């Protein structure tokens, strides 16, 4: 199953059967209180263009329409709770649920997840650390997000240790030649860059997460052929990671711009489109 759905996620979740998904990852709005957007441009070669490039070339820059959404909720937990409840219901007995937020709401969400799943079902707090963006001079720069991992059944869940991608040792000479060659297993702190501005991976959707981040989760916490659910799907990173690793996906978002981006991005996987048709214009 490979589906992209334009829908209000709570209403759609309520149509799904119990225990249908062995892995759920969601990256909901962070309640930053800001308008989330990305400036997107297209550069065309033009001898009279306003922008310079490599080798003295000139380019004319065109501003493109970009997805925008208001990331603000008066009662964020009241918004999130029924969706987490539904996520728990549709998670399979041996399934894992990953909730991705930042410092603003993660501590409140942790208490809420404990209430829904049970404190014994909390397995890991994963810190995704990155090093990019502005650095305020009045506090320590906030350069990490938090991902909470809960298991439906803390005594029986999917975890493929041998599928973990290894990373370089920080002091390879101390580890020895063989260990340095093999690399080490990551801890619960994952150093991973954000999606670079000039990356082919970049879709222009605000808050897009890097493909490698989702690949690590999906590779270790699911099996080939499993269906991964993401009901705050945004730019579709979960779907691309799932498809490239031989998994199915169900992606839900209520923003028309988001589902258009996903449909374009995941065209190679030939997903079923529900609630919309693919726009003919390559605007996204």
Find the CATH number of the domain harbouring 206.
3.40.50.150
The reply to whether 45 falls in a domain is no
Q: What is the pLDDT of residue 43?
A: 54
Longest dimension (CA), the chain: 66
The reply to whether 182 falls in a domain is no
Q: What is the pLDDT of residue 37?
A: 40
Q: What is the pLDDT of residue 41?
A: 42
Q: What is the pLDDT of residue 148?
A: 98
Structural domain count, the chain: 1
The reply to whether 188 falls in a domain is no
Q: What is the pLDDT of residue 36?
A: 39
CA distances from 65 to 37, 46, 49, 207 (A): 10, 21, 21, 16
Q: What is the pLDDT of residue 214?
A: 98
Residues (pLDDT < 70) of the chain are 30-44, 46, 49-73, 281-284
Exposure class string for 131-156: b at 16+ Cβ within 10 A, else e: eeeeeeeeeeeeebbbbbbbbbeeee
Separation of alpha carbons 58 and 119, rounded Å? 59
Q: Tens digit of pLDDT for each residue in 98-142?
A: 999 999 899 999 999 999 999 999 999 999 999 877 899 999 999
The reply to whether 245 falls in a domain is yes
Residue-range definition of the domain harbouring residue 7: 2-37+71-163+194-274
Angle (CA) 15 5 203, round 5°: 150
The reply to whether 168 falls in a domain is no
Q: What is the pLDDT of residue 162?
A: 96
Q: What is the pLDDT of residue 38?
A: 45
Q: Report residue 8 CA to chain centroid gap.
A: 18
């Amino acid at each position: 199953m490979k589906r992209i759905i334009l829908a209000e996620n709570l209403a759609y979740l309520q149509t799904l059967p119990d225990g249908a998904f062995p892995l759920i990852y969601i990256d909901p709005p962070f309640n930053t209180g800001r308008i989330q957007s990305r400036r997107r441009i297209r550069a065309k070669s033009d001898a009279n263009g306003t922008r310079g490039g490599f080798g003295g070339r000139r380019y004319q820059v065109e501003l493109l329409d970009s997805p925008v959404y208001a990331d603000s909720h008066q009662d964020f937990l009241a918004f999130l709770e029924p969706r987490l409840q539904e996520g728990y219901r549709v998670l399979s007995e041996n399934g894992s649920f990953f909730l991705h937020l930042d410092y603003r709401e993660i501590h409140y969400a942790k208490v809420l997840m404990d209430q829904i799943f049970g404190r014994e079902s909390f397995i890991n707090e994963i810190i995704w650390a990155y090093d990019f963006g502005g650095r305020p001079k009045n506090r320590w720069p906030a350069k990490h997000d938090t991902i909470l991992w809960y298991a439906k059944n803390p005594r029986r869940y999917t975890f493929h240790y041998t599928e973990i991608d290894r990373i370089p040792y920080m002091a390879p000479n101390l580890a020895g030649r063989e260990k340095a060659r093999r690399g080490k297993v990551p801890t619960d702190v994952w150093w991973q860059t954000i999606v670079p501005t000039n990356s082919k991976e970049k879709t222009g959707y605000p808050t897009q997460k890097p493909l490698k981040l989702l690949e690590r989760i999906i590779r270790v916490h699911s099996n080939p052929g499993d269906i991964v659910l993401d009901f705050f799907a945004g730019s579709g990173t979960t779907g691309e990671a799932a498809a490239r690793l031989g998994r199915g996906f169900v992606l839900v978002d209520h923003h028309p711009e988001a589902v258009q981006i996903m449909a374009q991005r995941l065209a190679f996987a030939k997903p079923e489109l529900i609630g919309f048709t693919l726009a003919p214009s390559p605007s996204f």
